[in-house]
């Protein structure tokens, strides 16, 4: 009879953790366009509470997901005065502190943003540098890619972001 191999709890603890985060925001004329912590000159910007930085929101959800810490809306509800109007970079730092308290640290992050406006390409280096800095990683462990919507149009203009991260457990 086939026996399922068992994984010891110490093996599980030592194994890396993967996290997936996504975020989608409407793009609205006249809104400030802050993406990946970069203020971009653009006719449209993501609509939502606080700065609506969809790249950071997807990244935060990936980090929290990998750590088994629910999600951004549960941990940082905008109904809580502590988080009302908080900027997304502050939430990212807070999420990283929650991970660090569990000896979990990001070792890799890869992000793709789908949108027609703004073009991500010209801002890629700066977004990447910001993310690497916040995550405490070298540039080659962080990637951000922009893709257009390739003519797939909807009634509403939007940005759609997908982020994956890898966490490792460091006890030192």
Contacts to Mg ion by CB under 5 A: 23, 57
List b or e across 24-53, with b for residues whose CB sees 16 or more CB atoms inside 10 angstroms: bbebbeebebbbbbbebebebbbbbebbbb
Shortest distance in whole angstroms from residue 1 CB to Mg ion = 49
Nearest CB to Mg ion, comparing residues 59 and 66: 59
What is the rounded CA–CA span in Å between residue 124 and residue 153?
24
Nearest distance in Å: CB 27, Mg ion: 13
User: Around Cβ 88, how many Cβ atoms within 10 Å?
Assistant: 24
Tokens representing residue 47 in the block:
């609509």
CB of 30 to Mg ion, least distance (A): 19
Distance CA(95)–CA(44), nearest Å, equals 28
Rounded to a whole number of angstroms, the minimum distance from the CB of residue 17 to Mg ion is: 22
Shortest Cβ 159–Mg ion spacing (Å): 10
If the CB atoms of residues 47 and 107 are measured against Mg ion, the closer one turns out to be: 47
* Residue closer to Mg ion, measured from CB, 23 or 38: 23
The span from the CA of 103 to the CA of 113, in Å, is 29
Asked if 92 and 134 count as a contact pair (C-beta separation under 8 A), the reply is yes
Chain Cα centroid distance, residue 143: 11
Using the minimum distance from each CB to Mg ion, give the nearer residue, 53 or 96.
Answer: 53
For Mg ion, give the closer residue by CB, 57 or 123. Answer: 57
Count CB atoms within 10 A of the CB of residue 138: 8
């Amino acid at each position: 009879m086939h026996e399922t191999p068992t994984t010891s709890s110490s093996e599980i603890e030592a194994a890396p953790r993967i996290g997936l985060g996504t975020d989608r925001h409407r793009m609205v004329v006249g809104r400030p366009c802050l993406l990946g912590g970069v203020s971009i000159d653009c006719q449209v910007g993501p609509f939502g509470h606080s700065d609506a930085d969809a790249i950071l929101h997807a990244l935060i959800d990936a980090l929290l997901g990998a750590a088994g810490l629910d999600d951004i809306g549960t941990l940082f509800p905008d109904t809580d005065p502590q988080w009302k109007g908080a900027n997304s970079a502050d939430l990212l730092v807070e999420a990283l502190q929650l991970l660090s308290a569990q000896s979990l640290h990001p070792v890799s992050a890869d992000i793709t943003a789908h949108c027609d406006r703004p073009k991500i390409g010209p801002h890629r280096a700066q977004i990447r540098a910001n993310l690497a800095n916040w995550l405490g990683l070298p540039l080659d462990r962080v990637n951000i890619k922009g893709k257009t919507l390739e003519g797939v149009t909807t009634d509403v203009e939007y940005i759609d972001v997908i982020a994956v991260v890898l966490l490792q457990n460091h006890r030192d």
